[in-house]
Structure 1
Amino acid sequence: MSLMDMDNAGSPLWRLSKKFDFAAERIIPDPLVFCMIFTVIIFVAGVLATGNAPLAMAQFWYDGIWSQAAFAFQMAFMVVCCAVTARSEQVSRGLDRLARAVARPATAVLLLMVFGYLASFLNWAFALIVTPVLAMALSQRIRGLHFPMLIAAGYSTMILGQCLSPTGTIYALLAGDHPLAEKIGVMPQTMTTYNPANIVLWVLLAGLTTLVAMRTRPSGDEIVEFRQERAPVAEPEPEPEPDGFAGSIADRLNGSRALMWAIGLLGAVMIAFTVARNGLFASLSLSFVIFVFLIANFFLYNTPARFIAAYRDNLKLATDVMIQFPFYGGIAGMMAKSGLATVIVGFFTSISTANTLPFFTYLSSSLVNLFIPSQGGQWIVQGEITVDAALQIGASLPLIVNAFVYGDQATNLLQPLYVIPALAVVGMRLRDVWGYMAFLWCIWFAVTSVLLLAIPVFF
């Protein structure tokens, strides 16, 4: 095949990725439907595999729904706070200047991937929102970028970045006082996040993912470029009265920069004090990260009127998270209380050896994550039995933790919950990007499986 023919047909990786389009167009429903299907599957499986009565499974589901109420609010509020930051005028200008640094599609993809990894190291929710904002800036300046693939590739950086991020839920949990500390002690992040095996695994997987994203090029007539009219349009911000004595007292308060600076400085003092007292990594709890972005927005939107208008406009990005998390809490409740999760994890650990347990942990974590898309919630269900198996057969505990994290993160490419806010930012549907996400997951699954089987031999 000539070079011209290859250009007309797209790159080999593009032609391979297109094989996933059928599922995306014909099979993939709206994300909420995933919740309903998974609920039915786990309900039936719990009755058949564990012997629980249907009424008992219904009670487990009901109890689980309300167990996630606080966490659902935290996750939704974090998405909104990060979206407000990422879509602020100052951050948008910075991303636009960054987009001007490249002029070719391949270098634009490389920039997006590197930026996404770095943003994910800081915080996954910020990366989730700011990466598609950068993708829009790049697409508006550089022709020839296939926008759905750009969004899927950028989303993958948020997922994979959490496998080497100090803010990762399990890595941060195990580095402090955690429920399994009496069995395994405190595991600092030098032992879990930054052990040599994990660094090698992450670098190989991140490098390959970046290369695949750069080399997956559609033919000219198949390129879907970003269209500005697709993106949600922000509501016009109210024009506050200037500081001073003009206007009513209410107008002056709504436009008060002094109030915003006062609250912002108070929050900044507490951020600095917390980091000075606990250290940076130890401070990066979920609540602290949310607080940092909340306080940043007091400076980015310098009046109360602009501040609340930005939050109103971005609240819709949290709709799916708020609705779906309670349902996934119900699924988690059924899996945990019925014993179904123990059955699944126990099966994989029962057929493992010290060298194969990382691989089977990866498999079980990938499977369980489809139904419990919360790393912390999944660890509650799966963590203790996995740790017990590692201790009994003498497997590397840090590598087992890494395998759990990779499994938990990988199937977020198939499980649609977390990509919804990113799609809302750019006005796209799940079916527009799911085929590319599934394509990347297949590559990750093959490469990670091989590496997790090979790494115990060398580390």
Structure 2
Amino acid sequence: MARLALRFTEWAEKWFPDAFVFVAIAVVIVAGAALLNGAPVQAVTKSFGDGFWSLIPFTMQMVFVTIGGYVVATSPPVQALIDRLARLPKTGRGAVGLVAIATMLSSLLSWGLSLIFGGLLARALARREDLRMDYRAAGAAAYLGLGATWAMGLSSSAAQLQANPKSLPPSLLPITGVIPFSETIFLWQSMLIAAVLVTMSAVIALASAPGRDSAVTAQDLGIDPRREEEAISGPRQPGEWLEHAPLLTILIGLLALGWLVQEFARQDWIVAISNLNTYNFLFLMVGFVLHWRPKRFLVSLGKAVPATAGILIQFPFYAAIAAILTGAKNAGGHSIADVITHAFVALNTQGSFPLAMGVYSAVLGFFVPSGGGKWLLEAPYVMQAANELKVHLGWAVQVYNAAEALPNLINPFFMLPLLGILGLKARDIVGFSFLQLIFHLPVVLFLLWALAFTLEYHPPVLPG
């Protein structure tokens, strides 16, 4: 299976275009479908332009999820924690298992944190001369947060979007209403799936890691895993003194703490943390304080920003697609979203809908590798279908979350920041992650179908 996965990855690296090409193709296809559905050209072009900038707040919120996770993971205290964790394993296989568990648990806090944290932990373990750890297996384990559990945690794009009415597109809000975290990621059914995924993934990572005699280490691959720290010199001019002193960090940290205490005191903590602005503010301020000196924080920030380029350019196109799907209507008042909704309803029952939606989301996720962006494409019609079939709306979000993460295991799009840290190529780790996918796919789809029967439908709840 690993050989098959390696061949597949080599094919994908040769023939698959950049993810932006997929979103551009999606714009053309959706616009063409709207025209074939009878929508006037003016309606299609107007929807495209009107929708393009409609999600700027959400786009920036997703950018800061990436930045916040990065600056926390690269701070000196977290680096010290990584070094301590790296001293724990006694065997190479145990090291791979540690990376898997650490990255999946951290992904429940932030996918950005887990990706960087897992990569740095794998590198720290590779520096141990007494371990013969398979570096490729450790790299695949470091990716499990993105491939298995992130969408079931606090940084879930779909859950965050649905909990924040100001971030939702105006056309989507009447369909879904506001869905708080208590109805998505904090459902006991969701937490059960997360626990199953963490356990199963860690076991597979341990079982599939090559033993001492067959392990391929970082040194065997010609990779130097020693820590690369950028030397930060002290202030050279009087004006640079504040960049290297903790005074501003302390003062701003106290201001941030004061606001956070008030924010969490005035409302339930689940409501507070489900606000993307609060969530990002918390991570950014924690990262600022952990770096202690503004100069260190700014260096880390500069390294984090390039990883956000895909989000910045692709999300406006996703917003435009969502607008065309719902806004470009024919003479009968029907949009493409209406047509797809009717197809979902006609082909499914309340019982079969979670399974059908899970399969659909997983397949589409390989071509549109963006949890938040793809949700904007799917939500207008799958959530309307969920309403018509009386499927619990929060569970429909979690069906999307769990299924959408599956193709990440073999899609190289989100591997790029991790691969940069590790010095590996996608083909080096996909053999192991493909093995994870073989086990994940039937288990996740079965749980999404079976647990749906334990939940009851509630109509959309509109703000105010």
TM-score (norm 1): 0.80
- The one-letter code of the counterpart of 1:20 is A
**Further displaced range: 304-313 or 322-331:** 322-331
Check if 1:353 corresponds to 2:343.
no
Check if 1:440 corresponds to 2:436.
yes
Check if 1:235 corresponds to 2:230.
yes
Q: Which residue of 2 aligns with 1:268?
A: 257
Check if 1:85 corresponds to 2:72.
yes
Change (3 A) 1:59 1:293: same
Q: Which residue of 1 aligns with 2:87?
A: 100
Which of 117, 132, 135 aligns to 1:130? It is 117
Q: Which residue of 2 aligns with 1:212?
A: 204
Equivalent residue pairs, number = 438
Change (3 A) 1:351 1:372: same
Change (3 A) 1:310 1:124: closer
Is the 2:99–2:118 contact (alpha carbons within 8 Å) kept by the matching residues of 1? yes
Check if 1:26 corresponds to 2:4.
no
Is the 1:144–1:225 contact (alpha carbons within 8 Å) kept by the matching residues of 2? no
Alignment of 1:295-374 (within 5 A): 295-326=285-316, 343-344=339-340, 346-370=342-366, 372-374=368-370
Check if 1:405 corresponds to 2:401.
yes
Q: Which residue of 2 aligns with 1:254?
A: 243
Distance 1:402 1:350 in 2: 22
Distance 2:338 2:361 in 1: 12
| 1:21 shift after superposition | 0.4
Q: Which residue of 2 aligns with 1:225?
A: 218
Is the 2:157–2:372 contact (alpha carbons within 8 Å) kept by the matching residues of 1? yes
Q: Which residue of 1 aligns with 2:386?
A: 390
Is the 2:163–2:181 contact (alpha carbons within 8 Å) kept by the matching residues of 1? yes
Deviations along 1:78-120, whole A, 9 cap, x unmatched?
3233222211222111111012122112322332222223212
Distance 2:138 2:341 in 1: 35
Distance 2:40 2:318 in 1: 20
- The one-letter code of the counterpart of 1:421 is P
| 1:143 shift after superposition | 3.1
Change (3 A) 1:137 1:332: farther
Check if 1:43 corresponds to 2:28.
yes
Check if 1:420 corresponds to 2:416.
yes
SS at match of 2:108: helix
SS at match of 2:13: coil
Q: Which residue of 2 aligns with 1:289?
A: 279
- The one-letter code of the counterpart of 2:114 is A
- The one-letter code of the counterpart of 1:254 is E
- The one-letter code of the counterpart of 1:365 is S
| 1:65 shift after superposition | 5.2
**Further displaced range: 259-268 or 344-353:** 344-353
SS at match of 1:278: coil
Change (3 A) 1:303 1:50: same
Could you list the runs of 5+ residues in structure 2 that have no partner in the other structure?
Answer: 329-334, 456-464
Change (3 A) 1:56 1:31: farther
| 1:294 shift after superposition | 2.2
Distance 2:436 2:319 in 1: 27
Is the 1:238–1:305 contact (alpha carbons within 8 Å) kept by the matching residues of 2? no
| 1:397 shift after superposition | 4.2
Deviations along 1:27-66, whole A, 9 cap, x unmatched?
3259862321453365246526861789987776666654
Distance 1:156 1:340 in 2: 35
Is the 2:151–2:157 contact (alpha carbons within 8 Å) kept by the matching residues of 1? no
- The one-letter code of the counterpart of 2:196 is L
Alignment of 1:131-170 (within 5 A): 131-141=118-128, 143-170=131-158
Check if 1:75 corresponds to 2:62.
yes
Is the 2:70–2:300 contact (alpha carbons within 8 Å) kept by the matching residues of 1? no
Is the 1:148–1:433 contact (alpha carbons within 8 Å) kept by the matching residues of 2? yes
Distance 2:242 2:15 in 1: 43
Distance 1:416 1:94 in 2: 28
Distance 2:316 2:14 in 1: 19
Change (3 A) 1:301 1:403: closer
Distance 1:337 1:434 in 2: 40
- The one-letter code of the counterpart of 1:257 is P
SS at match of 2:349: coil
Change (3 A) 1:331 1:200: same
Check if 1:193 corresponds to 2:185.
yes
Change (3 A) 1:27 1:230: farther
Change (3 A) 1:371 1:330: farther
| 1:122 shift after superposition | 1.8
Change (3 A) 1:62 1:430: farther
TM-score (norm 2): 0.79
Distance 2:148 2:434 in 1: 14
Change (3 A) 1:306 1:238: farther
Change (3 A) 1:256 1:185: closer
- The one-letter code of the counterpart of 1:407 is A
Deviations along 1:223-268, whole A, 9 cap, x unmatched?
2536654789443212236xxxxxx531433333222211222122
The answer to which structure has the higher helix fraction is 1
| 1:172 shift after superposition | 4.7
| 1:359 shift after superposition | 0.3
Is the 2:27–2:317 contact (alpha carbons within 8 Å) kept by the matching residues of 1? no
